[in-house]
Amino acid sequence: MSQLFTSLQIGRTTVRNRVVMAPMTRSRSDDEGVPSDLVALYYAQRASAGLTITEGVFPTALGKGYVRTPGIETTAQIAAWQKVAEAVHAKGGRIFMQLMHCGRISHPSLLNGATPVAPSAIKPAGQAWTPIGQVDYETPRALSLVEIAEVIRSYALAARRAIDAGFDGVELHAASGYLPEQFLSSNSNQRQDLYGGSVQNRSRFILEVLDAMVDEVGAGRVGIKIAPEMNFNDISDDTPVQTYSSLVEQLRDLDLAYLHVALFKPGVDYHGLLRKRFKGPYLAGGGLDKLRAESLLAEGRADAAVFGGAFLANPDLPERLRLGAALNTPDKNTFYTAGPEGYIDYPFLNETIVA
């Protein structure tokens, strides 16, 4: 039997297979960051994943970066996420919440007029998705040392709320050009204090956030996602191999639930480079198909495989992979729309056969 369909211990959680659902923003929350009732059904449909990682959830209102994205701060937000956790567990699934602070990848119209924050006051190229459409990003405000401590605490509190809402764990989103990667990367961090300059200093924010989350909910309930050289949201680093090697070596002794590495750029063998530097479960993702996923596991280069778009369009993806069945094609036009179309209406395999 393929290793994809064997169980795995991830922190405190035993998962029934090694097919992981990637975190994917779907924009099905209201303007207050409260997930709609459709969200619980969406994740329950996909609960056959060994582990489901939710879309990015802002830990504090200042971390919101897109329209109709969810938070985990208010009573209403927490109550909605509790329904999601209950729905997934009722199907026998396991679910982690991804915590995503967008930092400078935001806009005042999403933050009740506040200026987005970042390690340094450097305006990113590109446009924000706002209630009035796409608009140019603005120059962010550099966080003070006191404010950095407050943001770190907000991650810990968000982790606690997620666990109290019934989630099995939380994932720190340290990729895609959002706040943790803004601190890590040389083009977005030009600080002259203990959070800037050397690779060790630029790693400090991520490590302190993880320490705070671990202190709050335990290391076995905390994972992290990174994506070396993804370069999304105008992020780049002068020495990425050195930066990510150093970061992962510093993660080694934290006993985290897992390291999730998404790769989208050919070139450096980051899985080979980073897998040996991390002693816990290693989740590999980034455009995988079944053959590539099985190869990574068989070669010992990963412990589980993370699938994104395939899971979006195939709620029963593990079964389809097991049988070698055809896959539904995701509709890009409905990735970020507000309703059920392209969200909860993709057919299961048995429905496809009947049709």
**Catalytic residue positions?**
178
Q: Which residue, among 229, 228, 210, has the nearest Cα to 275 in the 3D structure?
A: 228
What letter represents residue 143's amino acid?
A: L
Number of Cβ within a 10 Å radius of residue 328: 18
